[in-house]
Chains A and B, each alone.
Chain A
Amino acid sequence: MEAKTQPVGLPGWLRIVLIGRNPRRTLVRIAVLVAVVFLTRTYVLLPIRVKGPSMLPTYQEGGVNFVNRLAYHRSEPKRGDVVAIRLAGEHMMFMKRIIGLPGETVQFHDGHVLINGQILDEPYLARPCDWEGPPKTLAPGWYYVVGDNRSMPEMLHEEGMTPRYRIVGKILLCKNLFASSPP
């Protein structure tokens, strides 16, 4: 007498849905996917969640964006670029806009930013600014960064000079994903 044995485990259709017709190929696909995600996350695009009001109204709070780590691989940061600046590491970063380049003199005066004494055109600003300060000349390799929300008190707004090595990369999207609607 011959007895047919049924494989114990998942039903056939569920097995196909979960691990595919060819488990070995599925395993390779998963390994490739994990490697691609890991390499992209480590060397190309760093996902970030934006907290705080300093980049309003350009970037809303709570939204998601990405830092393009390769943006300055072959070129230097430019004025107007929104960049991520690391603190001790990359778990927490400042998101700021570059307004001053190495060697330039930056000053806040009469509601404007002056670069080497000339008013900087900043179409991204929505609210007036009343910050005042003495001119600062940037050393080689240093950039002046500030948020777009200049209506908030200056003492609560992190801005200033940062060395090049702290700039992790350029913000990829010009608007945050999944951000709450503007106030």
Chain B
Amino acid sequence: MQKSFRLIAALTVIGMGIWGARMLFPSPEQAIRSRLLNLARTLSFERKDGILSRGLKAQNFLECFTLDVVVSLDSRAYGARTLTGRDELQQALLVALNHEAGGGLKVEFLDINVTLGPDKQTAVADLTAKATVAGERDFLVQEFNFMLKKAGGQWLIYRVETVKTLSRREVIRRIPV
């Protein structure tokens, strides 16, 4: 019995040691995942969040990006749009937060696949973003590629682009005569 107890205690200590080491010294993949999950959290807000809180979230959101970030969006429902630089991104974000989902928005990043560049200073993260507007049954799903580079010890996003999971074809809606 005492032997089993010692074994369990030893395994627990080893497990906690590994967990602690990973927390203190995260691998680049973990650091990138953590940054992206944090980004999803800053994009989410509730109805009770005030304008100040939303503004702070927007500020935290922007700190994840480089100054010359390029966000290239192309969705079937909203069309194509490219945002360049943090300022343009901030404007678009504030407009979206205040008008598109005034009642609240929950953003989740799922299935984050991180591929490090050969120099270990750049990385590409492929993920599925899920956005649910408060009070609505349906949600939006879009696959994204985030390109990151290490600057000042931090992983910053320098490019975001939508991934066309199903390649689009050109369709013209027929007008009934």
Contact = CB atoms under 8 A, between A and B. Distances in A.
A91 B170 CA distance: 29
B111 A90 contact: yes
B46 to A, nearest CB: 22
B171 A92 contact: no
Contacts of B171: 108, 131-133, 154
Interface string B166-177: 111111111010
A22 B85 CA distance: 67
Interface in A45-62: 51-52
Nearest to B168: A160
Interface residues of B, number: 28
Interface residues of A, number: 29
B112 A133 contact: no
Interface string B47-62: 0000000000000000
A81 interface: no
Contacts of A130: 173-174, 176
A92 B111 contact: yes
B76 A158 contact: yes
A88 B113 contact: yes
Nearest to B176: A130
A96 B111 CA distance: 20
B110 A92 contact: yes
Interface string B21-35: 000000000000000
Residue in A89, A96, A130, A161 whose Cβ sees the most chain B Cβ within 10 Å = A89
A116 B111 CA distance: 37
Given A88-B126, A133-B171, A155-B77, A94 B143 contact: no
Contacts of B128: 87-89, 91-92
B138 A88 contact: no
B13 interface: no
Given A87-B111, A88-B126, A92-B130, A160 B164 contact: yes
Interface of A: 51-52, 85, 87-92, 94, 96, 108, 130-134, 136, 145, 153-156, 158-162, 166
Interface of B: 76-77, 110-113, 126-128, 130, 138-139, 141, 143-144, 163-174, 176
